[in-house]
């Protein structure tokens, strides 16, 4: 058997991908057998499987680059993926054994990976052909899910033909590391699980009101005074590099969010004069509001901070927040009010916020970053939003299905690209099979033209941190987020039935558990291998 | 410092306790210092603490039996507890080091445990005086919670005077190992955490409709055919012994439940002719209902099974279930109907169920077991219930606060002893701080005489297993169950305010996390030591 991967474009060195990937997976069968394969989650665009099965022997299983492949040994992403997927496919052989394919071994069972364009199918081989190296990673994931063990521990893979590509290019998960600190290990584990569900964006809501765990080189006081603990509850530069590298190896981009001007209480601890002093009865009350938009020093600070951030986080996108700004403190402050008069804003504080956001967007644009902001910025400051930006649709629990359709319609009509987050606030829990709610979302079911629908570039599962830290993150996230993953990856018509999805998601959840992901059960039942991590 | 424990009664050998324990903990202080002790959860009946603090050096910390103590070295429960609590108090010294007290070392810091009745306080010592060895365990738990570390890692304990006893004698947690199989390790870990919250009954809902994981010596087919998997998803005799022993060492009784005649689908797989064949159109439909109460073979089987169970589970109580019996299958079966006629039950199937339960209660009574049944048995078969039994109050989510008060009133008026479970169905989750609901329960706030209120012997937190297995058991259970634990242990008036409980429960939750219990956060914030088990 040969699995050859063809990547049309050699984008290995680009570091991050920004466009849809496609790949093609074809497995040829040498031996006949029973059909017990359980399939792939999220569902590939086309999958034709047979009951014919092929025995895989870990001792005679090889990954290798084809001779015509543009990528060869030394391609760090695929080299590492071979090692990782060998361990995932054959968990009983965890010594990390993986051999490169050699043409001399053609009588053995081979998995050949090349970047040639044409697909070649030989007896006893399978081929994987991908447009990008990131697509090859998705194909390896699908392949790994096709391999199964019988009751005696032998490994099998059924004859399968897959043609696959993602429906949406942006498939994100937001983690909130401010309301609770998440140890780096918890983030890395989440990235592992994200790759299993083919998520490709880690939206790192890294700082917020409660704490500022990002350790800035330029402004070390931000974390030394604003983190929960200056030594143990921070992300060092090395931690961030580790997260970005771990993500990149799995085809996941890291989108950092430094939310302002609201949600910045923790910033004020380490940066004097950044937040607006609130007034009461004509004198400062001692409390502070959002970032002070009336001081030139604010913009100098933000430019310096974002200059650092833009280097530390290499992704071309940056999230600027902009949500939930409370105007009461600004209103109370006589200097802010004087600034309003000077700028001709009258008493319209949305203009002040727009002015602030415009400045921040300009700062990051000058750093060659594309901005993402929460929907509030679109709602209140349309003049700030330009079609170059991608606007997050962001609703809290008050959001209804009907409501976010109206917003999608309105924002795409204005030419905005949008990422849909509203229906996937997965931190909200309820009793029973609430994954149904995440699965049955129809992101394009709003009234609009075909052009408008193309502006919906994807969706995002948000795990806000009020009630979540490393103790319960994983079981709350998985497999509930996997339901959204299928909605974002797979064809909607083929995945419209929750009852048909149920046994597939149950099976996928057991695969997660087998891989050491503490994914909670959907309903009564069991996994062949239960979670042993207690 | 000396901590001397006095147990009035020498009940070490009894194995299981059935009555309230009391203990008295007094710590004397040698050095002055800052007050940073965080207290004890659940709140002791009286606790007087001082800001004076005493430095504890792990190298010079000793447990020992006093010379006048009835228990001496060789008392397995306390010997093991010393070892366990040394590791809990000094997690940095996990080599398991613990030395017995020797009088020669009086210049060192000593923790002396004896079973003498009179409390003696010496300078530099603390004493723990307990009525039973189980009370001594509770006192050790309280002591361990009083010890804290400063920022430099030094250990301290503040001057504290505690007089304590539980409000209710029955403080249980139900785990359901039928809807999902829980690996033994998950049960043992739960027992550890139960001891930290001073729970003392593990109600093991071991079998039910979906699976029969208990491996019976007498009827091995019950698990080989009725478990999710005959080899990997069972509890062997050795597993059960391990659970009981682990529980006993922590002062926890194991109350097994073999629920019948309903909830027995899995029993039918391994025991032919046990379940009632359902009929449709005059012929057997191929499906089965509750246990067949019309066949003598049923009672022979149940007597044999319970004979084994009563030996395997040494506790004097046994739970017989009896809940949610669906009569439709019995009604459909002509032989059952004929039996009804013969017995003079007419068409009142509650009489048939009462007949069945009466037989089962008689079987277990003959084995010297006290029966516990779910409330249904009281509701429908009052003639079965006798004051010797303890009746569980059991409501599903339909239950309202008002409703279970009425039931408590009604059942205690009939002279029944009751265990309150209705408000603590902790498997039901919702977003936010739902521990408030478990904390604000007032078990005795029903209308009834003082005599009636004495019949409420305790309460139970139920973790039904529809959506719970080893992946999410611990974060769903803790610290939410700890809220109920305080209600069951502590004085109601002293613990009537959730806002005052909040910081204490937050602190206790961090203590659980530090001990390796994956207890989820209550709200935004952090623990000095976050969960590292990912």
- When the pLDDT of each residue in chain B is averaged and rounded to a whole number, the result is 84
Partner residue opposite A467 with nearest CB, options B469, B523, B530: B523
Task: Give the containing element (helix H, strand E) for B259.
Answer: strand B253-260
Provide residues of A within 8 Å CB-CB of chain B: 179-181, 183, 185-186, 189, 210-211, 228-229, 232-233, 427-432, 465-472, 474-475, 513, 518-526, 528, 530-534
Contacts of A524 in chain B (CB under 8 A): 179-180, 210, 465-466
Residue B412 phi, psi dihedral angles, 5° rounding = -70, -30
Alpha-carbon gap, residue B190 to B185, rounded angstroms: 9
- Enter the tokens of residue A219: 């402004």
Q: What ipTM does the predicted assembly reach?
A: 0.89
Which site among B524, B525, B529, B532 would you substitute to test the A interface, given the most A Cβ atoms closer than 10 Å to its Cβ?
A: B524
Which site among A212, A526, A528 would you substitute to test the B interface, given the most B Cβ atoms closer than 10 Å to its Cβ?
A: A526
Cross-chain residue pair A531–B465, CB shorter than 8 Å: no
Contacts of A523 in chain B (CB under 8 A): 466-467
Contacts of A519 in chain B (CB under 8 A): 471
A151, closest residue in chain B (CA to CA): B229
Alpha-carbon gap, residue B140 to B86, rounded angstroms: 10
Alpha-carbon gap, residue B439 to A339, rounded angstroms: 50
Out of A4-18, B18-32, B199-213, give the one with best mean pLDDT: B199-213
- Annotated active-site residue A324? The verdict is yes
Cβ(A291)–Cβ(A298) below 8 Å: yes
Cross-chain residue pair B471–A520, CB shorter than 8 Å: yes
Q: Is B345 left (phi over 0), alpha (psi -120 to 50) or beta?
A: alpha
Residue B243, classed as helix, strand or coil, is helix
Q: Report whether pLDDT(B1) > 70.
A: no
Q: Report whether pLDDT(B406) > 80.
A: yes
B267 contacts: CB under 8 Å, gap ≥ 6 = B207, B212, B222, B226, B260, B274, B275, B291
Q: How far is A184 from chain B (nearest CA, A)?
A: 10
Strand partners, B65: B113
Average pLDDT over residues B517-528: 97
Q: pLDDT (tens digit, 0 to 9) for every residue of chain A, 534 residues total?
A: 334 444 433 333 333 433 333 344 444 333 333 334 458 999 988 888 777 777 878 877 777 776 667 777 888 888 899 889 888 988 887 654 444 544 444 333 333 333 322 222 234 566 787 778 888 899 889 888 988 898 888 888 887 888 889 999 999 999 999 999 999 999 999 999 999 999 999 999 999 999 999 999 999 999 999 999 999 999 999 999 999 999 999 999 999 999 999 999 999 999 999 999 999 999 999 999 999 999 999 999 999 999 999 999 999 999 999 888 999 999 999 999 999 999 999 999 999 999 999 999 999 999 999 899 888 777 776 544 455 555 555 433 334 555 788 888 888 888 888 899 999 999 999 999 999 999 999 999 999 999 999 999 999 999 999 999 999 999 999 999 999 999 999 999 999 999 999 999 999 999 999 999 999 999 999 999 999 887
Biggest alpha carbon distance in chain A? 87
pTM for the complete prediction?
0.90
Predicted pLDDT of residue B114: 35
Average pLDDT over residues B278-306: 97
Q: Report whether pLDDT(B224) > 70.
A: yes
Contacts of B531 in chain A (CB under 8 A): 183, 469-471
Cross-chain residue pair A526–B181, CB shorter than 8 Å: yes
- Enter the tokens of residue A532: 């042993």
Predicted pLDDT of residue A157: 83
Contacts of B532 in chain A (CB under 8 A): 183, 185, 470
Question: Could you tell me which residue, B478 or A4, shows the higher pLDDT?
Answer: B478
pLDDT by residue (tens digit) across B325-370?
A: 999 999 999 999 999 999 999 999 999 999 999 999 999 999 999 9
């Amino acid at each position: 058997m040969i699995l050859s991967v063809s990547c049309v474009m050699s984008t290995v060195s680009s570091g991050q991908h920004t466009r849809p990937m496609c790949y093609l997976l074809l497995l040829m069968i040498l031996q006949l057998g029973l059909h017990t394969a359980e399939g792939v989650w999220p569902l590939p665009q086309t999958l034709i499987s047979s009951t014919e099965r092929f025995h895989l022997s870990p001792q005679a299983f090889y990954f290798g680059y084809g001779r015509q492949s543009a990528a060869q040994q030394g391609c760090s992403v695929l080299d590492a993926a071979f090692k990782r997927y060998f361990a995932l496919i054959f968990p009983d052989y965890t010594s990390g054994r993986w051999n490169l394919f050699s043409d001399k071994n053609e009588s053995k069972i081979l998995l050949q990976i090349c970047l040639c364009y044409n697909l070649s199918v030989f007896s006893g081989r399978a081929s994987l052909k991908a447009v990008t190296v990131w697509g090859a990673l998705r194909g390896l994931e699908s392949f790994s899910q096709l391999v199964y063990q019988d009751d005696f521990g032998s490994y099998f893979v059924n004859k399968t033909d897959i043609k696959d590509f993602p429906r949406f290019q942006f498939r994100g998960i937001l983690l909130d590391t401010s309301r609770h600190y998440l140890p780096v290990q918890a983030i890395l584990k989440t990235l592992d699980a994200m790759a299993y569900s083919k998520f490709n964006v880690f939206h790192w809501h890294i700082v917020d009101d409660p704490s500022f765990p990002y350790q800035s080189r330029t402004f070390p006081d931000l974390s030394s005074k604003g983190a929960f603990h200056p030594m143990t509850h921070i992300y060092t530069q090395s931690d961030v590099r580790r997260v970005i590298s771990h993500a990149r190896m799995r085809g996941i981009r890291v989108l950092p969010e430094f939310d302002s001007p609201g949600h910045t209480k923790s910033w004020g601890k380490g940066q004097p004069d950044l937040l607006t002093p609130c007034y009461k009865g004509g004198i400062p009350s001692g409390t502070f509001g959002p970032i002070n938009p009336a001081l030139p020093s604010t913009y100098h600070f933000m430019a310096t901070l974002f200059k650092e951030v833009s280097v530390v986080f290499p992704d071309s996108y940056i999230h600027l927040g902009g949500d939930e700004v409370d105007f009461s403190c600004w209103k109370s402050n006589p200097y802010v009010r004087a600034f309003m008069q000077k700028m001709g804003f009258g008493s319209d504080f949305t203009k002040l916020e727009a002015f602030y956001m415009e400045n921040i967007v300009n700062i990051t644009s000058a750093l060659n970053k594309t901005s993402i902001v929460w929907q509030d910025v679109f709602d209140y400051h349309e003049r700030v939003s330009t079609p170059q930006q991608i606007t997050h649709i962001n609703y809290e629990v008050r959001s209804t299905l009907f409501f976010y359709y109206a917003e999608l319609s309105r924002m795409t009509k204005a030419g905005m690209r949008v990422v849909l987050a509203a229906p996937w606030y997965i931190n909200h829990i309820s009793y029973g099979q609430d994954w149904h709610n995440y699965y049955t979302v129809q992101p394009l079911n709003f009234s609009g033209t075909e052009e408008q629908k193309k502006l919906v570039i994807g969706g995002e599962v948000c795990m806000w941190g009020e009630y979540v830290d490393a103790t319960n993150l994983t079981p709350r996230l998985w497999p509930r987020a996997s339901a959204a993953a299928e909605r974002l990856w797979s064809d909607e018509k083929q995945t419209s039935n929750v009852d048909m999805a149920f046994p597939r998601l149950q099976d996928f959840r057991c695969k997660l558990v087998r891989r050491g992901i503490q994914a909670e059960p959907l309903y009564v039942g069991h996994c062949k291998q239960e979670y042993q991590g207690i």
